[in-house]
């Protein structure tokens, strides 16, 4: 509770995370940038690897899942979306440079790359009606240093156009950790080992591309005297001349000479190691080549969504709920939830068939299934009953029969009165 009071007090008196520094005029800037300075720069520094494709695919799929600040009903079920600054940042405008979806993508991509990042409320306003703090903009920050109660982050300041370091209490920052940290971010984890091997392969490729063949020619005589060394240098120069003058890089040697390629075995071993680590990374992250090239079937995609995407999104949602909702807000039934599109992996006909089977076999109520697909619960009392509405119950049959009998008797009495 103490942290919440401090948080609220700070927000009411500090509208900007960069300590209320006045925004500079245009004369402050010495010049512009040829690239967006707020854009994520991955640590690997190698955009040619399969890792960039993996990180991008996971981040894009995670960012496609909607995250909402919601209000729950008395049964802790989703009731409605709350009109709040947090919702606006997550779904409409994260800041002056990013949409809500771009902010979510930035967050997921950064946490995959860094292992741990902070989501920082930068601009804060006060709701005049409720007096509560309202988040106006948010930024993803790189954590530089850890302290017992605080954390130092590098955050893009859109007022100066620079990345700047600020220290904030941990209670004011959503600190998100990669659920796959051991696989992706540990120094000896699969991904980091793969990065080192790929970098080594790049070095070898650059050597080959520079024209260096790194080979040894074994001559049919012993090179000891100066005369023999001169003869060997002439022979080497002749081979180099043939290679440089050949359209396809072909040269000939004497039948008694032998050529040994120095880096060929190393390159072959590296290729095998890279293939092994790539397959291991796919397995540990729940990814397949079919997912990467867009040809995966529904079963494979569902497994990927459950094993890879959902844990990542849940890590963000749990931290948003913990840091940005006070005890009073949670007591009012407010929460943060994520909603997966049920029709992305299955057509409408399949979803409706599933709903029919689950309710008809009394596995889920109608309202329980509505929650799964992100719909508000129905107010109809029957929607909360775990029973097959297509089957008449004994009590219902007796009631119907009594109604029919009573109706017949009433008609007969009416006819008798008319005849009497």
User: In terms of pLDDT, which residue wins out, 27 or 345?
Assistant: 345
Residue 225: band (very low, low, confident or very high) from pLDDT cuts 50, 70, 90? confident
Phi, then psi, of 353 in degrees rounded to 5: -65, -40
How many CB atoms are closer than 10 A to CB 69?
25
Whether 209 has a pLDDT exceeding 90, the answer reads no
261: left (phi over 0), alpha (psi -120 to 50) or beta: beta
Report pTM.
0.72
Closest CA to 72 of 330, 318, 382: 330
186 or 354: which carries more pLDDT confidence? 186
| pLDDT at position 179 | 97
Query: What does the pLDDT read at residue 199?
Result: 84
The chain-wide mean pLDDT, for the chain, equals: 81
Rounded to the nearest 10 degrees, the angle between the axes of helix 310-324 and helix 100-114 is 110
**pLDDT tens-digit readout, 103-133:** 999 999 999 999 999 999 999 887 777 677 8
Cα 184 to Cα 199: distance, rounded to the nearest angstrom: 16
Instruction: Give the model confidence (pLDDT) of 59-89 as tens digits.
Output: 999 999 999 999 999 989 899 999 999 999 9
pLDDT at 9: 46
Residue 237 clears pLDDT 80, i.e. is over it: yes
DSSP codes, 124-182: EEE-TTT--EEEEEEEEEEEEEE-SSEEEEEEEETTTTEEEEEEEEGGGSEEEE-TTHH
> What is the per-residue pLDDT for 23?
42
Per-domain residue ranges of the chain: 2-181, 190-289
């Amino acid at each position: 509770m103490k942290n919440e009071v401090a948080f609220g007090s700070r927000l009411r008196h500090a509208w900007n995370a960069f300590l209320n520094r006045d925004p500079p005029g245009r004369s402050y800037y010495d010049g512009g940038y040829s690239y967006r300075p707020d854009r994520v720069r991955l640590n690997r520094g190698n955009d040619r690897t399969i890792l960039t494709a993996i990180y991008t695919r996971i981040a894009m799929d995670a960012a496609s899942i909607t995250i909402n600040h919601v209000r729950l009903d008395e049964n802790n079920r989703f009731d409605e979306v709350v009109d709040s600054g947090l919702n606006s940042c997550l779904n409409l405008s994260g800041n002056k440079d990013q949409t809500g979806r771009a902010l979510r993508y930035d967050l997921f991509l950064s946490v995959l790359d860094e292992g741990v990042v902070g989501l920082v409320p930068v601009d804060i306003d006060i709701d005049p009606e409720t007096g509560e703090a309202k988040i106006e903009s948010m930024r993803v920050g790189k954590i530089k240093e850890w302290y017992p109660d605080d954390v130092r982050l590098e955050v893009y300041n859109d007022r100066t156009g620079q990345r700047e370091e600020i220290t904030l209490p941990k209670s004011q920052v959503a600190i998100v950790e990669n659920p796959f940290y051991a696989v992706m971010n540990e120094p000896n984890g699969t991904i980091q080992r793969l990065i080192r091997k790929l970098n080594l392969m790049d070095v070898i490729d650059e050597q080959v591309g520079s024209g260096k063949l790194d080979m040894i020619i074994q001559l049919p005589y012993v090179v000891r005297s100066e005369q023999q060394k001169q003869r060997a240098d002439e022979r080497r120069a002749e081979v180099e001349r043939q290679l440089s003058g050949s359209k396809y890089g072909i040269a000939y040697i004497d039948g008694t000479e032998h050529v040994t390629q120095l880096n060929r075995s190393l390159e072959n071993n590296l290729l095998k190691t890279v293939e092994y680590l790539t397959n291991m990374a796919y397995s540990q992250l729940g990814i397949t080549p079919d997912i990467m090239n867009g040809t995966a079937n529904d079963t494979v995609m569902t497994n990927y969504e459950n094993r890879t995407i959902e844990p990542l999104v849940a890590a963000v949602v749990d931290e948003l709920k913990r840091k940005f909702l006070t005890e009073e807000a949670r007591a009012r039934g407010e929460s943060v939830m994520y909603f997966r599109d049920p029709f992305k992996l299955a057509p409408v006909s399949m979803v409706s068939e599933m709903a029919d089977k689950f309710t008809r076999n009394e596995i889920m109520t109608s309202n329980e299934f509505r929650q799964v697909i992100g719909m508000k619960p129905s107010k109809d009392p029957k929607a909360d009953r775990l029973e097959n509405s297509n089957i008449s119950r004994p009590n219902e049959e007796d009631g119907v029969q009594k109604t029919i009998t009573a109706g017949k008797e009433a008609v007969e009495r009416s006819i008798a009165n008319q005849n009497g």
